[in-house]
Chain A
Amino acid sequence: MRVANRTAFEMVKYNLARVSDELNQANMIVSTGKRINTPSDDPIGLVQALKIRSDLAGIDQLKRNINQGHSWLGATENALGNVQDQISEAMSLAVRMATATTGADARAAGATIVQNLMDEILSLANTQIGGRFIFAGSKTDTRPFNAIGTYSGDTSPFNIKISATETVAVGSDGSAVFGNIFANLIAFRDALAGNNVSGIQAAIDSMDTDFTNISTSVSNVGSKVNRMKTKESIMQDLEIIKGDRLSKIEDADLAEAITNLKAKELAYQAALTSSARVMKLSLVDYV
């Protein structure tokens, strides 16, 4: 078959352009370190990468939420622990005050102690995190308990988002957590002040119930903390797994990319050499 001069030259041009384009692509992958530099490089991979990147951003956010939750639950645990201490102190005081040997004066002094304990519990019930009340239900911006323990929050506790579909209550409905504590303490205090032994004895029982209630709340908080810790570790695992997958989809395998670049370079050199040879040949030189 005859080969026209044009054909030879056009072929050289076309092939060199093609090989140099491939070389450029290979170079792009090595220099950016990314397999996917434009959507068309791997559209399916790109969609997966976008999804994973969105998941990772979501995980990041959830981790922030959980951190926030930990600080709320930590504060709750702390506050309730202290409340338990105060109640047991009040209970032991009640037991002492209920004995027949205790006089009216001692009981009147006891009333002051109870008032102090109650003030202490009130201040714990009005605990704030970052300026927000944790025992106020959703009314986190208003002080939930006044001086006599009347609740002005609401019953829907403050929630945070810990996964795509789950929320966990990190705040508390103060009225449920503290129940009748304040009323009971006031009754106890008044009984002491009034030297009312049967009132003091009744207070032992009621405070026992209060103590149990608070203990239940504390263990609830504990289980929530555990749940969040589990979530957190799942998220850390997910972050690693997803990050790994993202890297597999997006990032170039450097060894492979460089080998490929070398191969393309070689192909380019070969094309140049052979083109130069072919282009030089002409009958003109021999006639």
Chain B
Amino acid sequence: MGGLGLVLSIAKDAIAAQRYGLDVTAHNIANVNTEGYSRQRLVLHANDPAQLAGIMFGRGVDAYEINRLSDQVIENQLMQQNSEMLSSEEKVRYAQVLENIFSESSRANIGSLLVDYWNLWQDISNNPSGMAERGALYEHSVLLATQFAGPDSDMTQLQTDLTLSVSKGVERINQISGEIAEVNNQIVRLGADAANDLRDRRNILLTELGQYIDVKTFDQSNGTTTVTTARGAILVYDASSYQLQMGSGVNGNRIEWVSSSGSNIDITDYITRGQIGGWLDMRDGIIAKYQKDLDAVAQEFIWTVNQQHSQGLGLKLFETAVTGTYTTGASELLSTLAYGDKIDYTKDFKMWTYDTGSTFPVAVDVDMGISTANPTFTNFAGANSTYEIEITQGGVVDTDGVEFRWRKDGGAWTAATMLSTATDVTIDGSTVGFSTGDVLVAGNHLSVNTVAAGAPDPLVLTPSGTANDILDTYTFTVTTGGTIPGTPVISWSNSTATGTLNIAATGNYTVDGMTLNIASGDLEVGDTFTITTDASGSPTAALPSAWHWTLDSFADQFNRQTSRVTASKTVANALTFAPVTGGSGKELKNFAYSGGVTAANTTVTIHNYDELDTVTGGTKFRLDYTAGTWTIAQGDPGYGAIVLSGDANGVKIDLSGVANGSADLSASFATALTADGYVEFDISAASGTYSFAFSDDSAQDSGLAAALGINTFFTGTSASDIGINSAISASKDNIAAAQVNSDGTFGVGDNTNALAIASLQYSARTMSLHSVDRTTGTAEGSVTTTIEDYYASLVGSVGMISANIQRSNDFNQSMVNSLTALRDNISAVSLDEEMANLIKYQHAYTAAAKLLGIVDEMLATILQVK
């Protein structure tokens, strides 16, 4: 076709094309404010030319396609950055909440309450017997305990809220994944090229998905997009979507990906972006850290105060039973007490006892030492049994006589004696051997399991490496018995974690970062041992077959040393001290000193109170020190007492006179005697009522009373459970401002302990400092500082973290802004531009219409030719 017909056709196409142009412009203008809309553009092509009369003529315009101005690379970058920003935005929001929790603006914050707490002790030190001061301290302490619990429960609440938000987010993610799969499906149906607005829609959905969680996209050749999230989990593939869900039970706060096979994969710790990434960072990272740190400072504060308080004396002596606030595990091991690792076994437990009928206080001083002896065993009579051995009278092997008691499988105790000239003792057929010079400490306990033929098979285990939790106790309990290697199962727990070991083979086992080399041993169900870690996480094991203390062994040893107060284990595995009422038997009532032997220089210890009952006849006997030797003088008839050994540093006496060489009573001197003198013991029938108090001897205090929770100020072990000892709530008299003098006398107007407690404000303690990273786990370090400074740094660090999050959020925000500007520069609608296009198309339309008119005129002209 040629001639006017061609022009007419060109005009017709041009009119249509320009009108399309107007349509596209109108669509753009209409969507000027549509989120995620990419402006569209009409693509016009000149039609292929045609040859006419040997000349190539153009054939007008063709509206080729409408395309979308969009750069997918920038779209993806924007989506990622947006995802990042939403993560940090959420963190900013919750960091501000965290800052409010630790706000120091009010007077009732922990920092200033701590300062006031110490100051109130100083007030008490200024007026030790003042009830107003004691009342003020008590009320303040209640407030302090409440305030410690406040941030802790606020943080726990925050974590609960965050989990709720996470689960809401997961629901939304599932909806969006479904919608993206649907859009994929439509794009496939309409054809990959024909779906401008669907692509925009998909981009919007992906951006929204990115607001919640990490998103990665892969464009497929059929026009669909594959979407994956954290840990490479697929959310959308082609036209199908995969679900995320919250875990169940203990994993209720975890996010799981549900595969098509139905198996679930935990992806929680891999999620770093989007709101959920932010929420998880707060919940499992930042908040978790501050909860742990707050617990660490509360734990040390409780111990610090309790340790000093337990060495003090209130306004009156204890006249009724006192029960500890802390309990051991079922094993009764002292090392399983909450503060068991704080007990200093190189020191003593000391209590002063008072008899209303006697002016002389008597000290009970239990040496809390751990025997140095590493015993060897030959076969026992009992096969497949558990033998428990306790030292009832200690001493140095091959120098002193040592008395033991043993029992098999929890049966009755049997006594056994090792003479002062021997290095072994026979226990139910087994020769238990020691080395000359080994120190055996009364009250120490151990247990050995035997296998066939009564062969002893103690657990041989060596810990090494570095544990994840420092300054902590790991308790191991055998849940399935058996001989190693084989079927034994040991479960373990510490303050933060639990686990199980199946000892199928000998060799190395990893427990919470440390390595346990397990070589051999026969284990019974319930066997328990502990491993404690120091400030650098280095482990030390206390095995059943090594000497250790249990509640019972301590109570029994204590009871051997006094007849005035009875120690016993409660059903709940706490310890009770109760004064004896109307006691029977003999008791040591008085001492008298003369010459070079003075009260201040002398410590008298009774190792076996029962032996006093063997004393018959009179009530007094005297030990004379003359020219370096000790003799019993004025021994009333009936005394079989003999001096076992004695010099200027001390003297040991066997009251029963049985020549096994173990001392029932001893006196030692702080400084060696330089002059002759004597000490006289007044032993008489027990009578009267008794009361007791705890020692002032801080240099020798093992911390046992504090670890048992006896005569302590606070209860609990963490920020959430810190409370006041009920003994103090019941009577403010029990606030221990005073200390017992070294001779057992005391003054209720004394303020020594109050001063000591007030000084703790300035005492540097070693406390755990946590850094919690969701992906790499918790790292625990330690810092040595005062309680107050630790707390101040904690608040400072909350501020620091919040400030950092704000800064990174500002950065993310500006990144998103510039990427958005970049994206909008390409894709968003400019009305100015559209207005220009409008006019452009309008003019072209007018011109094309004009063309039509001209062709019309030309046709008319031709038609008029005659």
**A138→B828 CA distance, assembly (Å):** 86
Residues facing B in A8-45 (CB within 8 A) are: 10-11, 14, 37-44
B32: chain A residues within 8 A (beta carbon)? 5-6
Chain A positions within 8 Å of B830 at CB level:
2-5
B778 interfacial contact with A, CB 8 Å: no
Stretch from B96-104, B493-501, B509-517, B711-719 at the A interface? B96-104
- Partner of A138 from the list B99, B749, B827 (CB cut-off 8 Å) is B749
B103 neighbours in A (Cβ, 8 Å): 38-39
Q: Which of A65, A140, A153 contacts B128 (CB 8 A)?
A: A140
Flag if B752 contacts A138 (CB, 8 Å). yes
* Docked-complex contact A57 and B761, CB < 8 angstroms: no
Contacts of B759 in A (CB 8 A): 161, 164-165
Stretch at the interface among B140-148, B794-802, B858-866: B794-802
Kindly report which residue of chain B lies nearest to residue A49, judged by CB atoms.
B104
Given contacts A2-B830, A7-B824, A43-B799, contact A158 B751 (CB under 8 A): yes
Query: Cα distance A136–B758 when bound, in Å?
Result: 23
B112 lies within 8 A of A161 (CB): no
Question: How large, as a class, is the contact surface on chain A?
Answer: 35 or more
Given A39-B99, A156-B752, A287-B835, decide whether A140 and B800 contact each other with a Cβ distance below 8 A: no
Determine how close the nearest CB of chain A comes to the CB of B26; give it in whole angstroms: 14
* Interface residues of chain B: helix, strand, loop or mixed (majority): helix
How long is the Cα–Cα vector from A165 to B829 in the complex, in angstroms?
Answer: 74
- In the complex, B491 has a CB within 8 A of chain A: no
The reply to whether A39 and B829 contact each other, CB–CB distance below 8 Å, is no
Per-residue contact bits, chain A 157-172, to B (CB 8 Å; 1 contact, 0 not): 0111100110100000
Q: How far is the CA of A136 from the CA of B747 in the complex (A)?
A: 9
B700 at the binding interface (Cβ < 8 Å): no
Chain A CB within 8 A of B64 CB: no
- B50 on the A face (CB < 8 A): no
* A4 engages B824 (CB within 8 Å): yes
A137, chain B: closest CB distance, angstroms? 7
Name which residue of chain A comes closest to B126, CB basis.
A68
Cβ contact within 8 Å between A65 and B789: no
Q: Which chain A residues border B761 with CB–CB below 8 Å?
A: 58, 164
CA distance A4 to B748 in the complex (A): 84
| CB of B702 to closest CB in A, whole Å | 24
A94 part of interface (Cβ distance < 8 Å): no
Contact A39 B796, beta carbon cutoff 8 Å: yes
> In whole Å, how far is B295's beta carbon from the nearest beta carbon of chain A?
20
Partner of B755, one of A54, A62, A136, A167: A167
A-contacting 9-mer, from B114-122, B205-213, B466-474, B622-630: B114-122
Digitize B141-174: 1 where CB-to-A-CB distance is under 8 Å, 0 elsewhere. Answer: 0000000000000000000000000000000000
Contact A283 B747 (CB under 8 A): no
Which chain B residues border A283 with CB–CB below 8 Å? 831-832, 835-836
The reply on B668 being an interface residue by CB < 8 A is no
Chain B residues whose C-beta falls within 8 Å of the C-beta of A54 in the assembled complex:
111-112, 114-115, 788, 792
Cβ contact of A58, chosen from B119, B738, B806, cutoff 8 A: B119
Inter-chain contact A50/B795, CB cutoff 8 Å: yes
Q: How far is the CB of B235 from chain A (nearest CB, A)?
A: 28
A residues sitting closer than 8 Å to B (CB atoms) are 1-7, 10-11, 14, 37-44, 46-47, 50-51, 53-54, 57-58, 60-62, 64-65, 68, 130, 132-133, 136-142, 153-154, 156, 158-161, 164-165, 167, 282-284, 287
Chain B interface residues toward A at CB < 8 A = 32-33, 39, 95-96, 99-100, 102-105, 111-112, 114-116, 118-119, 122-123, 125-129, 738, 741, 745-752, 755, 758-759, 761-762, 788-789, 792-793, 795-800, 802-803, 806, 817, 820-821, 824-825, 827-833, 835-836, 838-839
Apart from the given pairs A64-B122, A141-B129, 14 other A-B contacts in the complex at a CB distance below 8 Å: A39-B799, A50-B792, A50-B796, A57-B115, A61-B118, A61-B123, A62-B122, A65-B126, A138-B746, A138-B752, A142-B747, A158-B750, A158-B751, A284-B835
For the complex of A and B, 10 pairs with smallest distance between CB atoms: A39-B799, A140-B749, A139-B747, A4-B828, A43-B799, A138-B750, A47-B796, A40-B802, A40-B803, A50-B792
